[in-house]
Structure 1
Amino acid sequence: MKIERTKNAARNIIFGVLLKAYQIIVPFLMRTAMIYFMGVEYLGLSSLFASILQVLNLAELGVGSAMVYSMYKPIAEDDTSIICALLKLYRTYYTAIGAVIAVIGTVLTPFIPYLIKSNLPSSLNVYVLYLLNLMATVLSYWLFSYKNALFQAHQRLDVTSKITLITVTFQYALQLAVIIIIKDYYIYVIAALLTQVSTNIITAIAATKMYGNYQPQGQLDTRTVKEINHRIRDLFTSKIGGVVVNSVDTIVISTFLGLTVLAVYQNYFYLITAVTGILSTVFFAVTAGIGNSIITETKEKNFDDLNKFTFIIAWVAGVCTCCFLCLFQPFMRLWVGSELLLEFPVVICFCIYFYVVEINQLLNTFKDAAGIWHEDRFRPLVTAIVNLGMNLIMVQFWGIYGVIFSTALSMLSVGMPWLLHNIFTVLFDKDYLVPYLKKLLFYVFAVFVAAILSYWLCSVMQLPDILLIIVRLVICCIIPNIIFLLAYHRMHEFKASMRLINKMTKEKIRFLKKFES
């Protein structure tokens, strides 16, 4: 079966972006309410727990990615028996993973207070809160999580987006009421636990209804199981690298600088993750399609796709970078006040970090879709070690600057060059690498010019913050796009991307008309 990649990608992007936008706007309102009704320390505590549990999720070992990748070929060949056997194996692994996380998480409980330097609200029992968060994580593995792989492998993430939209609405409504009326942080955490349970159950019901012919039964041959286990083993170091990059910054800030500094950092980082989250939805929506294309299309066609996606992401991420540079400070003053403002050099560090992350995320999407995990197994671990070492050193001298800059620097100096080498050695020809790098550097130069010009125009205006934000947003939407259009309009990637966007737009319009009817 050849997946309808453009149609499914368009559908996934529509509902994925809607869900992500919803998950940005409503939590933003809740963060604001928590700052004014409960206190900034609670934000720091929530971020710390999330990072600790992300570390515990290392036990997942990349099983999900390995299993979804293993389904691409049997789905393309309509091999139902193999898919059923894969589901059974997936269920077995996730049951064991949940048990491992429960045991390790419980053993770590006595050490949790040592990760909090100061500012812990006196009314809270950190052990109870941690165990509630741990329970939510464990249940996410035990309650039918393996069925979610069917939606991912069939490129039907729009279904899970709809389900999540319903369940998180319940969570947000309850949590917002807790923050404003009850002011009980324990109930706030329990609401998230209940949401996780309901999401898993409803997703399992939907998977059974849509893919009733796939049941967890049957056995895989020994060779296939060994291949899957090899992929999982190779993905383990990738998981370590991702966790260190995404979680250690938070833990280091909490340990060395305190919950208040962590909360201020997270206010800025929240906006970064909001935008990266929307773009991640796009990456996630097209991953299965890329995987299917790698199996069914030529190497030249797939390299052309890489160039198109790189061009699109470089353009979109470039505009977003200019917006962050010009809008961060006035928006923060308006949102949380001048007392919770970081200095402008931190904003520059965040902008560099954001752009590097987006390009890196695109490359990782192709790596995961192609299953290049064995060749890439040491890169994430080495990058993580470099990042952790620079984090621990730089936080001593530069504080928050050192934490942010060390993350971007570790990706630029170690992670991305190594990843590019792996992709262009395994998936593409080495001869393609130099032309690709030249284009990438050209995109970076264009973003640099656009950012400098946009910031210069924005800095000459002295207006009240609300009006200043509006004017700067208009500038950042016009100037970078004009510069990119002038710089890129003759490129093959520009024309190819316009055709792709036009095709996906038609699919979206066709789908929306069908949805309305």
Structure 2
Amino acid sequence: MKRTDYVVKNIATGVIMQVVIILLGFVSRKIFIQYIGIEYLGINGLLTNILSMLSLVDLGIGSAIYYSLYKPLAERNYNQVKAIMNLYSKLYKFIGILVAVLGLMLLPFLKYIMKTDISSTYVNTVYIVFLMDSVLSYFLAYRSNILSADQKGYILNNISTVFTVITTLAQISIVFFTRNYILFLVVKLVLGVIKNIFIYVITNKKYSYLMDKNKPLLKAKTKREIIKNAKALFIVNISTYFVFGTDNILLSTFVGVAAVGLYSNYLLLINTVNTLIGQIFQGIKASFGNFMVQKNLKEANEIFEILYFINFWISTFCAISLFILLNPFIELWLGKGMLFNIITVAILVFNFYFRGMTNAIEVVRNAAGLYNPYPFFKFWSLTEGVLNLILAMIFSGLFKMGMVGIFLATSVSTCITAYVLPWNVYKYVFKMSSRRYYIKHIVYMFSTLVIASITYFISSLVTTDNHLSLFMVKMVACVFVPNSLIVLFFRSSKEFKYLMNKFNVKNAMLLIRKKHK
């Protein structure tokens, strides 16, 4: 199978998987809030953040090892692949035990960060189930990485889709018939274990050499690269957690658990879009890594510029749609009492857009394993994380800005990585000036602002008391106006022409095949 075939297959199955998850997720969330309540939804979000903090003990090992699989898989060096996977297995078992120990040590402190009237005994029980789910995943889930690195992410997507459907339907049934939140979590835990066992069996069949009893030695150079990248990734992961993983903890501390529940609805929608976009770039990542191993840097940079234009198009369309449609959709879905004001929504969407515009550059960074560039980037990443945490506490605690202060802190701190990461990638991967990238970035940002203003104005022209009709009109405007304006503004660019040529070639081939038939 060709590299482009893998990309298309990985993206297609990933998008289908996410559409299924989205539809089931909306139904599940509606039923959860109706029968269990917004406060329990807040607890769910808060404990998820806490467990994300514990996952930092991964130390970046998972991503560092994942990158190291590209080359031996491309070269069919099965001894090195097995050596790397053996290392993965040993380290992840150790990490799983460490997460369990640290998680239990954190148990007595839950009451200090959770503002709720629900009994501490019940909350502790829920936390233990969350912890077990996280710990057990380390013992088998690492096997999925070999499929992803080998450009066979579509297999994982198909498995995930099936298990997500089964899990969500089972959870919906439990909520509807029993209202039992703990049983709701236990079902997810059990089915998660079964899913990982299933993936383990499949990888044994597809990569039978992993079952050989001989234990090949890992190359010294590969081991050094893994250790170097893991050290840098540990700092990057801490920084990412400070920026995106602490919001629920800060909201619970300064505002209350109910605020976490409200925020989780917006986060569900934003993360849904993020995940759909992520499936596109995840589908490209392994193939881009394979491309960089086999091609020169000039060709890689040319492909990146196409990818960056696609990144801009997707991010602009999605950000404008979220800004215009988030509140109308939540009002239809959950009711008017679940809404944030327009300023809060604008800040959330800005954060989504600004971080989303780094997807393309992160594909290059990840494909190249650029986590420790002498070691500049990791320290800027740490600065971003620390700055976000400090600003969030100042804005929310000192200035009493509440949740707006927490989200605004993310807006300020995110700028660091958004502007430093491209400089690093161009200097250490493409080995050329990043000036061209920043010029494009400014053009894209200005274009997004103009397109957003025009779309917002047009979507506001229609007014009606029928909320569903109003939502549908706004949705139509969001589909046609931004995409039409992007085509109008960029129809002469080389990136747009490249995409149109690709599209026309494929159509021509289809027409030829039909004629022969």
TM-score, normalised with respect to structure 1: 0.93
Q: How does 1:12-411 map to 2 (within 5 A)?
A: 12-118=10-116, 120-122=117-119, 125-142=122-139, 144-215=140-211, 217-375=215-373, 376-396=377-397, 397-411=400-414
* C-alpha distance in 1 between matches for 2:211 and 2:505: 35
Q: Residues 442-471 of structure 1, C-alpha deviation per residue, up to 9 Å, x if partnerless?
A: 111111111111111222321211000100
Residue 193 of structure 1 aligns with an amino acid whose one-letter code is: L
Alpha-carbon distance in 2 for matches of 1:16, 1:504: 22
Quote the Cα distance in structure 2 between the aligned partners of 1:443 and 1:34.
40
State the secondary structure of the residue aligned to 1:457: helix
State the partner residue of 1:451: 452
Structure 1 pair 415–171 and aligned structure 2 pair: CA distance change class (3 A): same
Cα deviation per residue 1:256-298 (whole Å; 9 max; x = unaligned)? 1111111111111211101001011111111111111111111
The answer to whether the 8 A contact 1:87-1:215 is kept is no
Return 5+ residue gaps in structure 2 as ranges. 512-517
Change (3 A) 1:504 1:206: farther
SS in 2 for 1:378: helix
In structure 2, the partner of 1:515 is none
Say whether the 8 Å CA contact 2:68–2:222 is kept in structure 1. Answer: no
Contact between 1:132 and 1:190, CA under 8 Å: does it hold in 2?
yes
Matched with 1:512 is none
**1:505 positional shift:** 8.9
Go from structure 1 to structure 2 and tell me whether the alpha carbon gap of 1:422 and 1:49 turns closer, same or farther (over 3 Å shift). Answer: same
Question: In the TM superposition, what is the alpha-carbon distance from 1:503 to its structure 2 partner?
Answer: 7.3
Residue aligning to 1:415: 417
User: Are the equivalent residues in 2 in contact too, given 1:94–1:141 (CA < 8 A)?
Assistant: yes
Q: d(CA) in 2 for partners of 1:352 and 1:426? A: 29
1:473 corresponds in structure 2 to: 475
Q: Distance in 2 between matches of 1:382 and 1:332?
A: 35
1:346-380 per-residue CA deviation (whole Å, 9 max, x = no partner) reads 11112211111211233222111111111232222
Cα–Cα, structure 1 residues 457 and 223, in superposed 2: closer, same or farther, change >3 Å? closer
Q: Which amino acid aligns with 1:410?
A: S
CA-based RMSD: 2.0
Q: Structure 2: which amino acid aligns with 1:183? A: R
Q: 1:489 to 1:253 in 2, by over 3 A?
A: same
SS in 1 for 2:246: helix
Is the Cα–Cα contact under 8 Å of residues 363 and 419 in structure 1 kept in the other structure? Answer: yes
Contact 1:47 1:266 in 2 (8 A): yes
Classify the secondary structure of the residue corresponding to 1:161: helix
CA shift at 1:493, angstroms? 0.7
- Pairwise CA distance, 1:226: 2.6
Alignment partner of 1:442 is 2:440: no
User: CA contact under 8 A between 1:5 and 1:286: conserved in structure 2?
Assistant: no
Q: Cα–Cα, structure 1 residues 505 and 57, in superposed 2: closer, same or farther, change >3 Å?
A: farther
Q: Distance in 2 between matches of 1:379 and 1:192?
A: 37
Contact 1:241 1:383 in 2 (8 A): yes
Could you tell me whether the CA contact under 8 Å between 2:387 and 2:413 is conserved in 1? Answer: yes
Residue type of the partner of 2:144?
Answer: N
- Report the alpha carbon displacement of residue 122 of structure 1 after superposing the two structures with TM: 4.6
Q: 1:290 to 1:323 in 2, by over 3 A?
A: same
Deviation for aligned residue 1:345: 0.6
Give the fraction of aligned pairs with identical amino acids, expressed as a percent: 28
C-alpha displacement at 1:389, in angstroms?
Answer: 0.9
Q: 1:502 to 1:298 in 2, by over 3 A?
A: farther
- Which stretches in structure 1 are left out of the alignment for 5+ residues? 510-517
C-alpha distance after superposition, 1:26-71 (max 9, x if no partner):
1111111111112111111111111111111101122221112111
Compared CA separation, residues 293 and 503, structure 1 to 2 (3 A)? farther
Aligned mates of 1:505, 1:277 — CA distance in 2? 29
Structure 1 residue 502, shift from structure 2 partner: 6.3
